[in-house]
Chain A
Amino acid sequence: MQRNPQLNEKGELQHLLSIEGLPREILVQILDTAESFAGVTEREVKKVPLLRGKSVFNLFFEPSTRTRTTFEIAAKRLSADVINLNIAVSSATKGESLLDTVANLSAMQADIFVVRHASSGAPFLIARHVKPHEHVINAGDGRHAHPTQGLLDLFTIRHYKKDFSKLTVAIVGDVLHSRVARSLIHGLTTLGAPEVRVIGPQTLLPAGVEALGVKVFHDMKAGLKDADVIVMLRLQNERMRGALLPSAQEFFKHYGLTADKLSLARKDAIVMHPGPMNRGVEIDSSVADGKNSVILPQVTFGIAVRMAVMSIVAGN
């Protein structure tokens, strides 16, 4: 039997590539460890000595400000040295292959590679070729996965709702192109959320999405009814060109989260968004800044979650 590429021979987390296929115990370990790190990030001295002497390479083959910054802050709070490489404007454009780039960085004594790549599977390829003491963390690969975003979403839900076992979670919008949605759905089903709904137009939902264990809604009002958690996805403007949607205005009318539509969910529902958000396209400003919104706490929790992932993999 082939071993899960994320786990070592003892079944411990060696690389974080995808939430899919991770056992429940490891998800809980990450969330519990992140809870302890959340305490550290509230202190005056927001640093612990855990990764002193280790080097973290942020390899971003695709631009991202928020994810790269939160990984950088997380690594620095663990006392690691962080090197940011914006490969989109570097060696790759000179023709160097992905594995050659990684081999060169490995020769510079890297301990952790944080990888963001436009091609699905790129972090898996790197993980197969690194040395045993090196660890790979997927920071988003193509349409496939964005596990630390999924984990911070799970952390946020657990923080506000405590228990997954009675929750109705609605994920709204462009599920088709969203690696965030995929990671979150796997996490929610693994942790036992009884009802996960996806809401969107037929053209933005992947074929056979029901197989992931979700309920499909094309009518947002029906889908939001009595939801405890609403996760809005970014509508990627570039999708408009592919004729998947008539216009942003039309999308907002049917699937944009307004105070009106929010009122159908539970009174204490939380509204999440992985960012960057398009105000007036998938979410109305009054909701994004409203009392149900936990969009900014998500960003803060993201630091603690990334500290947890880095300190767990680097110790295994």
Chain B
Amino acid sequence: MVGLYTGGAWLAERLHPMLGLKTPLGLMDIAFYRDDYAARGLKHDPKRTKIPFDVNGSELLLVDDVLYSGRTVRAAMNELFDYGRPASIALVVLADRGGRQLPICAQHVGAKVDVPEGMRLRLKRDDAGRLALALETDRAA
């Protein structure tokens, strides 16, 4: 299992023990593979990607909080392939809000949600470690 920073990583940290997976959890920051670097640059401090297992031949679950344009998943797959050639990748998301710009779909979806354009849906974590989906105005839009 590989969780994408930051929301997907929190989710994966919950799911990984629940599923009793034996291979250690991987965490990934796709900042160096984004397709909007030319327009936006490196805006936040990227986290260090940690893949503590051999990707070659593995059956992977890729975990993110919200699926929207599909661009993050595209970047994540490119980064994963720089670690090796997985046997398969299935996508796990908490919420699918539609609006895909790439031919990407999730195999495991918590819920389909309608989110108005110009709004951003993302996972937040409070000090007690409780996770919640938050709807906010998209600053980048």
Contact = CB atoms under 8 A, between A and B. Distances in A.
Contacts of B40: 315
29 contacts: A12-B41, A32-B45, A32-B46, A33-B42, A33-B45, A33-B46, A36-B29, A36-B32, A36-B48, A37-B32, A39-B49, A40-B32, A43-B82, A43-B83, A44-B84, A45-B82, A47-B82, A48-B79, A48-B82, A49-B33, A49-B78, A311-B42, A312-B41, A312-B42, A315-B38, A315-B41, A315-B42, A315-B43, A316-B41
B37 A50 contact: yes
B50 interface: yes
A299 interface: no
Given A36-B46, A37-B32, A314-B41, 11 more contacts: A12-B41, A32-B46, A33-B42, A33-B46, A36-B29, A36-B31, A36-B47, A50-B32, A50-B33, A312-B42, A315-B43
A312 B84 CA distance: 27
Contacts of A49: 32-33, 78
Interface of A: 12, 28-29, 32-33, 35-40, 43-45, 47-50, 311-312, 314-316
Nearest to B40: A315
Nearest to B32: A48
A10 to B, nearest CB: 10
Contacts of B50: 39
A198 to B, nearest CB: 31
Contacts of A316: 41
Interface in B39-87: 40-43, 45-50, 78-79, 82-84
A112 B78 CA distance: 26
A32 B79 CA distance: 19
Contacts of B42: 33, 311-312, 315
Contacts of A315: 37-38, 40-43
